């Protein structure tokens, strides 16, 4: 059981900046995210896309913004619980009890929901056997590329993730890239690179094919793929990787008894509290008149929600407004002695 001042759901830009604002006023946060990496939409959907509307940064990318947000919260030594979804929330005396998909329990007087458009889940292979082999031969993300060294791998998909991993893994594994169309959706550069690698005999490409079946007992031995004319082909392989994009679902958030308005959580704009005391919502998931789904709005919302958390976390202390330069929490973390 982990006790904390604030449990932040979602490690997108709003959740990350909330950690900063909480740290600044001396509150400890734990962050849970369903994805295997930090950064929310910025990292999952557009790591390389330029962003031009972050105040005082003329241009950055989804990836560099995430890196900078992480750098900014470094002094607060925050714990991230990735690959973990918040499933249930219940009242535990004055606190909230939060249960995750890995059965981890958090106890906290405050919850900040920074869940964006909900939890992202990979789109999966459309055949039943794929479920049997999931994480044991069937994968939808790569946590450690070294695991695939010298293996026979079939990569399915035509977008950037499929192409980028085909290029990367072909350096040390036997890769077959399979896509249901002849044209790839990924960037021109990646498409050209996979075709060049095919010419050089460094990987194989099979199009237009889709998965038809998986064979194996306990582990995968082979798969069959099928084209539009019904022609099938058997391929021996150690594993298959599916990169078909993500499904966005509000997920369990919808079952927590919060008021909802078309998959968004209405909030009081004074403190971004929801209809439940101690539960706040910021970023893309919250709604109020005039809401703009922009990163900068999430930052403002995070600042106000963080201050509202103070009263619940430290009921016997009075919150005192300070600028970041003079905040004792910031100075202490940076090793500066406040006079
Ligand atoms: C293609 C594209 C381009 C964009 N360009 C810009 C731009 O130029 N400028 C701009 O300001 N905005 C832009 N946006 C919008 C911006 O990305 C969003 O406003 C921003 O990401 C919202 O941040 P967030 O932290 O609220 O949510 P998200 O970034 O969506 O992060 C939410 C996180 O919560 C997690 N989560 C959800 N539910 C759970 C749960 N139950 N348990 C655990 N984790 C959970 C998710 O896995 C996710 O990682 C763009 C969006 C897209 C799609």
What tens digit of pLDDT does each residue of 88-107 get? 999 999 999 999 999 999 99
Decide whether any atom of ligand 1 lies within 6 Å of the 43 Cβ: no
CA of 194 to the centre of ligand 1 (A): 30
The pLDDT of 32-42, averaged and rounded, is 92
pTM score, two decimals? 0.76
**Residue 249: CB atoms within 10 Å:** 15
CA of 116 to the centre of ligand 1 (A): 5
Task: Name the helix (H) or strand (E) containing 298.
Answer: helix 295-313
Closest-CA residue, ligand 1 atom 39, reads 119
CA of 66 to the centre of ligand 1 (A): 11
257, two tokens: 């008894």
CA atoms within 13 A on the CB side of 102: 11
pLDDT above 50 (res 338) = no
pLDDT above 50 (res 63) = yes
- Is the CA virtual torsion 118, 120, 124, 128 positive or negative? negative
| Per-residue confidence (pLDDT) for residue 337, from 0 to 100 | 52
- Most informative mutation of 18, 41, 112, 258 for ligand 1 (most atoms within 8 A of CB): 41
**Higher-pLDDT residue of 21, 337:** 21
| Per-residue confidence (pLDDT) for residue 328, from 0 to 100 | 82
Q: What percent of the chain is modeled with pLDDT above 90?
A: 81
pLDDT above 50 (res 37) = yes
CA distances from 208 to 177, 181, 182, 257 (A): 11, 5, 5, 46
**Higher-pLDDT residue of 204, 326:** 204
* 100-129 per-position pLDDT tens digit: 999 999 999 999 999 998 877 789 999 999
Decide whether any atom of ligand 1 lies within 6 Å of the 41 Cβ: yes
Decide whether any atom of ligand 1 lies within 6 Å of the 39 Cβ: no
Q: Tell me which residue has tokens 């049997």.
A: 132
């Amino acid at each position: 059981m982990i006790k904390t001042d604030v449990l932040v759901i979602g490690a997108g830009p709003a959740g990350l900046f909330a950690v900063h604002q909480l740290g600044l006023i001396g509150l400890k946060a734990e962050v849970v995210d369903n994805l295997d990496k930090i950064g929310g939409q910025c990292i999952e959907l557009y790591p390389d896309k330029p962003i031009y509307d972050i105040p005082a940064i003329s241009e950055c990318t989804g990836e560099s913004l995430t890196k900078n947000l992480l750098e900014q919260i470094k002094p607060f030594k925050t714990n991230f619980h990735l690959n973990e979804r918040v499933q249930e929330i219940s009242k535990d005396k004055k606190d909230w009890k939060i249960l995750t998909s890995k059965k981890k329990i958090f106890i906290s007087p405050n919850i900040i929901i920074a869940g964006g458009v909900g939890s992202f889940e990979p789109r999966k292979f459309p055949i039943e056997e794929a479920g049997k082999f999931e994480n044991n031969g069937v994968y939808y993300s790569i946590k450690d590329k070294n695991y695939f060294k010298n293996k026979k791998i079939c990569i399915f998909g035509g977008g950037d993730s499929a192409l980028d991993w085909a290029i990367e893994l072909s350096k040390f594994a036997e890769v077959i890239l399979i896509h249901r169309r002849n044209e790839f959706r990924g960037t021109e550069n990646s498409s050209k690179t996979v075709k060049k690698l095919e010419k050089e005999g460094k990987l194989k490409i099979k199009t237009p094919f889709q998965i038809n079946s998986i064979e194996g007992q306990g582990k995968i031995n082979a798969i069959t793929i099928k084209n539009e004319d019904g022609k099938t082909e058997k391929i021996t392989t150690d594993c298959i990787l599916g990169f078909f994009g993500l499904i966005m679902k509000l997920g369990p958030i919808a079952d927590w008894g919060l008021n909802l308005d078309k998959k968004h959580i209405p909030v009081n704009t004074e403190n971004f509290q929801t209809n439940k005391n101690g539960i706040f919502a910021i970023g893309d998931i919250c709604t109020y008149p005039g809401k703009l789904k922009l990163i900068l709005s999430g930052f403002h919302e995070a600042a106000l929600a963080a201050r509202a958390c103070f009263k619940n976390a430290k009921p016997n202390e009075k919150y005192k407004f300070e600028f970041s330069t003079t905040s004792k929490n910031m100075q202490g973390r940076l090793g500066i002695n406040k006079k």
